[in-house]
Structure 1
């Protein structure tokens, strides 16, 4: 039995984040898959919010993906997934907050909204966020490197990536792919997609298209 247990759901992008960090750090863990439509009795004793991911490390419980990932990075410091420099570390936390409070809500609104007007507004919002990432992250932080902070992969990369792996569902159901003009974002996606940690737990685009069918209907031809 591994020292770490992670409670996850394969379709959940938040749980995907923490599984990526565990993979990247080479941490041995037990994976407990939770059916979010039929949660086991007593699950809130592990995850008080009743959500995944939740982490058990010995006697310790941690929940919320961004908090879990920082915890893992501190307890298992190698390889480091946050910059050492205080201002760069602050920038990383700003981008993680940006993902949680701006990027992910726009993605989810576009996928889940039944009204065309809501979808169009969400497309504009998501485009704006992609433009901001292209200019402020890859235009200023990354230099010539493929990742958010250049040559070294970080928690920020793993914070955003699960939604990009699910992007084919957004394109299929809402007709919105990652625009060609965001070349650096597209290069980043290609680079991170090839990492061993990502490949190890990747799912196909068909998987997400099928799993997200209940949230959306296909774009009319």
Structure 2
């Protein structure tokens, strides 16, 4: 075969290769657009960020309250840790929603992401229920989500002092943390987005550890476990 015959074939091969590269890039771009890097407003990532931020905000409020109602150093240190940790996590989740250009509230209602539609992972995990009466069920006396304290319970905490305030706070926070763990485990079952999974895992580990600590603190105060 002459050089003249080989040259067009070489050029054709180069053109075909270029077309394949461009097609591959287009497919990659399309697949990238489908990855859950930017969740939808009804997805579990956005729902978790919104609902856990609301949940955390009440924990921060209760922690500020008890900090001012007792001089006990162990209780004040626990409250300080919860204030700092959960305030930082609220900031992180709010930044996600800003980055994803999603609203801070879901007009369709809280916790619907936990009912099983639109998730990436396993089947639905039921929404957490209040465990022992220490905090109300969703909608009762202002408790907007399971595990959260009611308006009455918050008022009672604000009116208590000393050991009574410590015990009220510990009981309320144990119930609060248990519901938070259920929410974090629910998003772990529904998302493949690594930064969401990383935060949720840290919440599960941290809040379980604090539940154990708070139960020990209740025992030291002559109160039953929460």
Give TM-score scaled by structure 2 length.
Answer: 0.28
Higher helix share: 2
Give TM-score scaled by structure 1 length.
Answer: 0.28
Higher strand share: 1
Structure (1 or 2) with the larger CA radius of gyration: 2
